A and B are shown apart, each in its own frame.
Chain A
Amino acid sequence: MNFSEVFKQSNQLCKLSPDGKYLATCVQYRLVVRDVSTLQILQLYTCLDQISHMDWSSDSLFILCAMYKRGLVQVWSLEQPDWHCKIDEGSIGLVSSRWSPDGRHILNTTEFHLRITVWSLCTKAVSYIKYPKACQKGLDFSRDGCYMALAERRDCKDYVSIFVCDDWHLLRHFETETQDLAGLEWSPNGCVLAVWDSCLEYKVLLYSLDGRLLSTYSAYEWSLGIKSVTWSPSSQFLAIGSYDEKVRILNHITWKKIAQFEHPATIDNTKATMFKEVEKRPAVGSDEMSLLNISVGTTLFNTQSKYEIYPLPVQIPVVKPDPDRANPKIGISVLAFSSDSRYLATKNDNMASAVWVWDMQKMSLEAVLEQTSGVRCFQWDPRRPRLALCTGNSKLYLWSPGGCVSVQVPTEGGFQVQSLNWHCSGDSLVLLGKEQLCLCYMDSD
């Protein structure tokens, strides 16, 4: 495993192009585009203000840089460095900006969710979508880029509008049976829309593309409900994580629950493997000092860590959430399927240091990774069943069905991995620190 040198970045704005050729990073008000293979700077753009959001267009030709404070969006072309585009939302303000799937339109959400402005880069045309709902995930494009589902709120009722992305034609508009819609997500095959209610009520609604209600699922009443929802890449399963520390898996034929994954504090499932990160302070030998005296500052205070397989049952540290505060730190907040839909990784918020990996074929717990500190971010390799995670220290952790490794990022000055992104080929990984980033190249075997 190799690591690149460290580059500067700000606001953790660093994205690989969808085709995997370029790496765009923002440093203050500058946008730097590098070649992924050589890491040489290809283009350097200067924006009008500090960039708060940056995104690649789907065809990897354009980059959008949003400056929310100024209500500005600037678009840069990779092929034509002279080309420029500036969108000013004016006094109405800007809270979110994103590309349409075709990469020729920009959707800007104004402040207070007054409207969504759709700007066309082809015709300079502007269109408005009123009444968008301010919620967890109120807008989603289907995977094929044909349709957009948008949550709306009118007259204290929730609606879903389905647009055709091609010409922003409103295809369907229907009311949903939700108290307070919290989010919606297309299935990867683009035929089913999952809609879920806010945490006050456990309710998942499944709509067909033409707006028919396919099914409704509710696991329980009265207590806090859904925290996260994820489709499996095969569209076969819908995983629902909730505040009761359980994940429920719905199937795509009957839309009934086929499995329920619990996250108990004591793991006594003997088929699972418990990986526990064990830290070891390195013994400071004299020879070591002489060898690494240049980077003494970092190596001395970095602790070695490795995974040990613990025999079950094992107790996982649990932090009891404060019941008086809103949004209690309990329940399944993150769910992620591996690219082959074979594994599901979950994180229970009151066991912040543990990542649970479930086998979707056996419908059972496969492994538990207990870290020494809270897990910040985890992501599956887009090609292989391989999970990368970081905990805000200078180490990168990888899990695969074969085992678990912890890798020290060999950089100077205390590089702390806050977030990570896989390259679409699964060969490299972008590690984001607070102000820096570095690339990690996997051994191609």
Chain B
Amino acid sequence: MGEWRTTEISMENCEISSISQVTMSPSRQNNLMSMYSLPLLKNSYNVISAFCTEDNIPQCISYINQELSSLGLSTCIEAASPGGASLNTMPALNAMYELIQIHRRTMCNLEELEKEQLKKSSTLEHMQMSNSRLKDQLELSMREKSGLHETERQLLLKIKTLQSCLKTEKDEVQKLQSIIASRASQYSHDAKRKEREAAKLKERLSQLLVDRKDKKLAIDVLNSLGRSDGKRSHWKTAKATASHESEMYKSLLSDYEASQRSLMLENAELKKVLQQMKKEMIHILSPPKPSNRGATANDSQQGNSDGEEKAGDSSRETLDQSCEHAREQLTNSIRQQWRKLRSHVEKLDSKASQVQNQLESNTEVVPRETHEEEMERMRHEVQQCKEFIHTQQQLLQQQLNTSFDDETAALLNDCYTLEEKERLKEEWRLFEEQKRNFERERKNFTEAAIRLGREKKAFEEDRASWLKNQFLNMTPFTDRRRCSSSDGQSALSIKSEPEIRMSSVKAPMSKSSTYTAFSTPKPSQSAAFPSTTELYRTLRLIPDGSSSRYSNRGRWQESSTIDDGDSRGKSKLRGRCGDLSIFSLGEDENSLT
């Protein structure tokens, strides 16, 4: 028992350890599982060998019963016969069943728990990871912070040095300014000194010159002149100075008067303009007022404007009387009127803009559409006209070209031949179709021939048997010949029907398709010829000589390629070699050029 228990515990340990290992490395899980399952088997075998022997069955039963009751199971296992080796099956089975149930449940629980454990462990891992990541981030930001701190410190240092620099510069500037100022004062002082010295020197010089009584300093005039105004010169008297003064003032006065006059004139002009403006303003503002007021229904404004008008009138009246009085009134009234006019104009403006907006929103939309339509139509027309003109030009060009040089004329001629070729091609196409139909017919014919051959064989067998039987005196050769010809005729008569059908189908096909198609029948034809002839030969439907017809035909085709130029427009057969005429076109061109 104890052993089993220990194993159980060890098993559990193992399981736990395995789980813990699983969380460590999921790749080893399978191995562990197998490891787990192996000791279990061993244990069970050991238990069986150790637990119940033939001797201790009742003890075992009682023990199991005890265990069962301790597990809370009511069923108790009894021996089938007291002291017997066999068990009473029903309760034992029940107990087993219950045990299995319990076991299952526990297993289920275990599984769930394991799952939960896994989940938990994974979340734990996730948490750890995120934790480590966050730690990293924290470290990084810490480092950044320290870096920023460092740069800040450096910048602060820089600022400090710059500030000190600034201070020194400022000091320098101040010093320089003071130097400049001192120099300027020094300079001005020196200049003054020098100037004074110079003045002194000048004084001295003039003194000296005067003292020396310079003889040279003289005027030598033949005879004195009269004054330019013809008057005699005056004595310098007080009266003269007074007259000078008065004259000066006179001239000044006259100048001022002149300027005043001009200003008066200007003023008068401006006043006139102002008056006129005012008058016109009043004129403009007064007539539409009733209607305006009706629109705005602003009575207070009306009263105001009336008052203003009166003021304006009064000012106009008083204008001539007293300038100073009138000026203020005039300017005031003008100002008011101006304000009125401005507001009126603004109102009008806004109204006009509104109206315009309405117009734009209402009426403008429809015409715009029509206008656009019209425009589109016109554009279209223009485009058409342009195209027309272009084509006309082209045509004109062509015509001019053809009329002017021979080469182009030849080319144009070539155009006609091309047209002809086109027509021929069409014919060739028809011929091609016919050929194809013919081919099909031939196929049908071969099939029919094959069938006929079989029939013939059967018939011949029949005839052989019949000959055997009848011993008639007949030549088999003539008979066979007659039969084959009649079969051929019937085959031809059959063929006419699909030909019609095929042509009707092929008619709507485009030219280009025929172009691409025209080369294909040839190889098929050539492939088909030998097969059919061989077939015929093998079937001995036709004598060996008849094969010459096909070869003949092929030869004829070849010859037609050579004398294609001559054979044009000769007969129907010519149409059949239309495809070859395409190659001959190059020849024609060469000859033309």
Chain A residues in the interface with B (C-beta under 8 A): 58-59, 71, 82-92, 102-104, 112-115, 119, 121-124, 126, 130-131, 146-147, 153-156, 164, 166-167, 169, 171, 189-191, 208-210, 253
The answer for the CA separation of A15 and B215 in the assembled complex, in Å, is: 33
- Whether B221 and A209, one on each chain, are in contact in the complex, defined by CB atoms closer than 8 angstroms, is no
- Within 8 Å CB of A153, what residues of B? 195, 199
- Whether B244 and A169, one on each chain, are in contact in the complex, defined by CB atoms closer than 8 angstroms, is yes
CB closest chain-A residue, reference B241: A169
Give min CB distance, A243 to chain B, whole Å: 20
- Whether A156 and B192, one on each chain, are in contact in the complex, defined by CB atoms closer than 8 angstroms, is yes
Q: Enumerate 7 A-B pairs (CB-CB under 8 Å) in ascending A order.
A: A71-B216, A84-B221, A85-B220, A87-B220, A92-B205, A191-B251, A191-B252
- Whether A190 and B233, one on each chain, are in contact in the complex, defined by CB atoms closer than 8 angstroms, is no
State which of B214, B217, B222, B240 has its C-beta within 8 Å of the C-beta of A84. Answer: B222
CB closest chain-B residue, reference A102: B228
Do A167 and B234 contact each other (CB < 8 Å), given the known contacts A59-B228, A88-B216, A126-B219?
yes
The answer for the CA separation of A171 and B233 in the assembled complex, in Å, is: 18
Give min CB distance, A49 to chain B, whole Å: 14
**What number of residue pairs across chains A and B have CB atoms under 8 A from each other?**
112
- Within 8 Å CB of B199, what residues of A? 131, 153-155
CB closest chain-A residue, reference B235: A167
- Within 8 Å CB of A208, what residues of B? 252
Q: C-beta contact mask, B80-102 vs A, less than 8 Å → 1, else 0?
A: 00000000000000000000000
- Within 8 Å CB of B251, what residues of A? 146, 190-191, 209
- Within 8 Å CB of B263, what residues of A? 253
- Whether B224 and A124, one on each chain, are in contact in the complex, defined by CB atoms closer than 8 angstroms, is yes
- Whether B205 and A90, one on each chain, are in contact in the complex, defined by CB atoms closer than 8 angstroms, is no
Q: Is there a chain A Cβ closer than 8 Å to B227's Cβ?
A: yes
Q: Is there a chain A Cβ closer than 8 Å to B454's Cβ?
A: no
The answer for the CA separation of A191 and B202 in the assembled complex, in Å, is: 33
Q: C-beta contact mask, B220-252 vs A, less than 8 Å → 1, else 0?
A: 111111111100011010001100110111011
Give min CB distance, B99 to chain A, whole Å: 110
Chain B residues in the interface with A (C-beta under 8 A): 191-192, 195-196, 198-199, 202, 205-206, 209, 214-229, 233-234, 236, 240-241, 244-245, 247-249, 251-252, 255, 263
- Whether A102 and B229, one on each chain, are in contact in the complex, defined by CB atoms closer than 8 angstroms, is yes
- Whether A103 and B228, one on each chain, are in contact in the complex, defined by CB atoms closer than 8 angstroms, is yes
- Whether A91 and B209, one on each chain, are in contact in the complex, defined by CB atoms closer than 8 angstroms, is yes
Give min CB distance, B211 to chain A, whole Å: 12
State which of B196, B217, B228 has its C-beta within 8 Å of the C-beta of A90. Answer: B217
CB closest chain-B residue, reference A192: B255
The answer for the CA separation of A138 and B244 in the assembled complex, in Å, is: 23
Task: From B199, B215, B221, name the one whose CB has the most chain A CB atoms within 10 angstroms.
Answer: B221
Do A83 and B219 contact each other (CB < 8 Å), given the known contacts A122-B227, A191-B252?
no
Give min CB distance, A182 to chain B, whole Å: 15
The answer for the CA separation of A104 and B233 in the assembled complex, in Å, is: 12
Give min CB distance, B183 to chain A, whole Å: 14
Do A85 and B195 contact each other (CB < 8 Å), given the known contacts A114-B202, A191-B251?
no
- Whether A89 and B217, one on each chain, are in contact in the complex, defined by CB atoms closer than 8 angstroms, is yes
- Whether B221 and A124, one on each chain, are in contact in the complex, defined by CB atoms closer than 8 angstroms, is yes
- Whether A114 and B252, one on each chain, are in contact in the complex, defined by CB atoms closer than 8 angstroms, is no
The answer for the CA separation of A190 and B248 in the assembled complex, in Å, is: 10
The answer for the CA separation of A91 and B218 in the assembled complex, in Å, is: 11
Do A92 and B214 contact each other (CB < 8 Å), given the known contacts A85-B219, A156-B196, A167-B233?
yes
Give min CB distance, A321 to chain B, whole Å: 23
Do A124 and B219 contact each other (CB < 8 Å), given the known contacts A90-B209, A167-B233, A209-B251?
yes
The answer for the CA separation of A91 and B210 in the assembled complex, in Å, is: 11
8 closest A-B pairs by beta carbon, nearest first, are A90-B216, A90-B217, A90-B214, A191-B255, A86-B220, A85-B221, A156-B192, A102-B228
Other A-B pairs, 5, CB within 8 Å; known A71-B216, A87-B219, A92-B214: A84-B222, A102-B228, A122-B226, A171-B248, A253-B263
The answer for the CA separation of A189 and B191 in the assembled complex, in Å, is: 37
CB closest chain-A residue, reference B202: A114
- Whether A123 and B224, one on each chain, are in contact in the complex, defined by CB atoms closer than 8 angstroms, is yes
- Whether B224 and A92, one on each chain, are in contact in the complex, defined by CB atoms closer than 8 angstroms, is no
